[in-house]
């Protein structure tokens, strides 16, 4: 499989056709749809290694989010890495996630959280996350993930909009891995330093 971050950047025009939908990517889009399980099933039938990606509504545009600032840069590389999310029903899905050393906590977009089994409760008080672009509603959750076959339970904020990417922030993840960003090589390296009992 090609570097997913580079592929996404080079294919933003193609991906803009799939805004608000899931796509399964090898070196091309092999499946797409509105429902995570449906796309995962279609991709598995093709017996290729693939990554699932939720295409945000703002793909291809420069936006400032309260949580994530997409700045103007001189490189088209994004630090994306395959992360396995484990749903509340123990289903496993591999997503391409933005690794963000500037984010205190990991963020999950609305639809991805719903597909993972997260629920909103009427009596639940929504939290406000603040950033450069203003504020956004979110809910605090815990999520089971695997990075390079190492399981972790991490806190996440479940963004109540689909205008953000899946972001892996520092909390828990950066305590258990030494992470090296190699921008020139367009690569990220994760080196496990956490407890072997986890």
Which whole number is the average pLDDT over 59-68?
Answer: 48
Q: So where are the chain's domains?
A: 4-192
Residue 61, pLDDT > 60, answer no
* 36 within 8 A of 108, measured Cβ to Cβ: no
- Collapsing DSSP to helix, strand or coil, 137 comes out as strand
* 24 within 8 A of 42, measured Cβ to Cβ: yes
Which whole number is the average pLDDT over 171-178?
Answer: 96
pTM over 0.85, yes/no = no
Which whole number is the average pLDDT over 76-84?
Answer: 90
How many of the other CB atoms lie within 10 Å of CB of 17? 12
pLDDT digits (tens, 9 = 90+) for 18-45: 988 889 898 899 999 988 888 888 998 9
pLDDT digits (tens, 9 = 90+) for 90-149: 999 999 999 998 888 899 999 999 999 999 877 666 777 766 666 788 888 999 999 999
How many of the other CB atoms lie within 10 Å of CB of 175? 11
* 116 within 8 A of 108, measured Cβ to Cβ: yes
| C-alpha to C-alpha distance for 29 and 31, rounded to whole angstroms | 6
Alpha carbon separation from 103 to 24, 65, 70, 114, 195 (Å, rounded): 26, 12, 12, 22, 23
Look at the domain 4-192 and name its fold.
Answer: Cathepsin D, subunit A; domain 1 (2.40.70)
Query: In this predicted structure, what is the pLDDT of residue 118?
Result: 94
């Amino acid at each position: 499989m090609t570097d997913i971050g580079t592929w996404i950047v080079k294919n933003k025009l193609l991906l803009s056709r799939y805004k608000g939908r899931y796509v399964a990517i090898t070196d091309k889009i092999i499946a797409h749809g509105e429902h995570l399980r449906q796309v995962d099933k279609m991709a598995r039938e093709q017996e290729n290694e693939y990554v699932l990606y939720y295409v945000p509504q703002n793909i291809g545009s420069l936006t400032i989010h309260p949580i994530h600032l997409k700045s103007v840069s001189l490189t088209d590389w994004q630090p994306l890495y395959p992360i396995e999310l484990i749903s509340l029903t123990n289903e496993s899905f591999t997503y391409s996630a933005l690794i963000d050393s500037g984010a205190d906590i990991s963020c999950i977009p609305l639809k991805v959280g719903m597909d993972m089994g997260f629920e909103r409760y009427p009596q639940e008080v929504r939290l406000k996350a603040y950033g450069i672009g203003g504020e956004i509603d979110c809910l605090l959750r815990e999520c089971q993930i695997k990075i390079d076959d190492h399981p972790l339970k991490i806190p996440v904020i479940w963004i109540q909009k689909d205008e953000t990417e899946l972001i892996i922030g520092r909390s828990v993840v950066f305590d258990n891995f030494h992470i090296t960003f190699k921008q020139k090589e367009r690569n990220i390296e994760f080196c496990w330093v956490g407890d072997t009992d986890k």
